[in-house]
Amino acid sequence: MPDSEDSQSVPWHPHLGEVKIGVMATLEEMAQTAEAQVDQWHRQGLSAIALLAPATDQMGRWETLFTMPWQRLNGREPYRGGTVLTTLDLVRGLEFDAVVLLEVSQDAYPDQEQSARALYTAITRARRFVHVLVPLDRPSPWIQYLEQKV
């Protein structure tokens, strides 16, 4: 576990669904992988899917990278189903069939307790499937810990 004392760490529990971790070289590769995964989930009959960008200020670049149909969940209207592109702060309390965590990097999820909590919350938004996409050149320090727990 990254530099966090046991008393400060997040009490991880096993995720009941499938968790996959993919390491990608570029954002474009992450977007293509996410689109392929969403397409596969749609073929399996899943419809409630969230694509979680690391932060609101990064939403614009993800919007330009995705070519599949999706809607932006911006917090002004309630979630009405389908595939949404949004951020973690807007999905707290919501659940989806599947979640793709985009760009789980050391910038977005650094070696801090707050980052562990955010990552844990993001993963637990999914009822069945989670796909974590990690940049090759700057993975979050929490990925090693996550790999041990899933």
Tens-digit pLDDT profile for residues 58-91:
899 999 999 998 999 887 788 888 999 999 888 8
Domain-by-domain residue ranges, the chain?
17-141
Structure tokens at 59: 């939403």
- Reference 56, options 91, 95, 29, 20; nearest CA is 91
Task: Find residue 84's DSSP bridge partners.
Answer: 50, 71
Domain 17-141 is classified in which CATH homologous superfamily?
A: P-loop containing nucleotide triphosphate hydrolases (3.40.50.300)
d(Cα 65, Cα 145) in Å, to the nearest integer? 29
**CA–CA distances in Å: residue 62 to residues 53, 66, 149:** 7, 6, 28
pLDDT tens-digit readout, 91-142: 888 899 999 999 999 999 898 888 888 888 888 899 999 999 999 999 998 8
What phi and psi values does residue 51 have, to the nearest 5 degrees?
Answer: -105, 110
Q: Is 26 or 145 the better-scoring residue by pLDDT?
A: 26
pLDDT-wise least confident of 5-9, 51-55, 70-74: 5-9
Distance CA 81, CA 83 (A): 7
